[in-house]
Amino acid sequence: MGPVTRSADALIRLYQEHLSSRKRWTCAHLVAHGGQSCSAAVRHVLVNRGLARSVVPTVVRFVACYQAAIMLASSDVQGVCCCGGIPIPFRFRR
């Protein structure tokens, strides 16, 4: 793993350890489909493929997270989808 990839991995770990636990919501993709949160999935791809080859899968994952948030809109779930650094709030009907 190169120095830039290690730095990106360290930033994701810092986010997971210090910010994610304090934001009080869960990734919409995780809520809708189970498995890993977006940050865990992106970190996994980053470590296995490197920075350059992880860009497209990361974008695909964030789009899938956004689509999961839209899908959850028809349910009773409330929360926020965090697509990258931009939290996208959603509130659903009861």
What confidence tens digit (pLDDT) does each residue in 73-89 have? 776 655 555 555 455 55
pLDDT in tens, 17-55: 888 878 777 888 888 888 899 999 999 999 999 999 999
Closest CA to 19 of 44, 46, 39: 39
Helical axes 55-72 vs 38-49, angle rounded to 10°: 160
pLDDT for position 94: 45
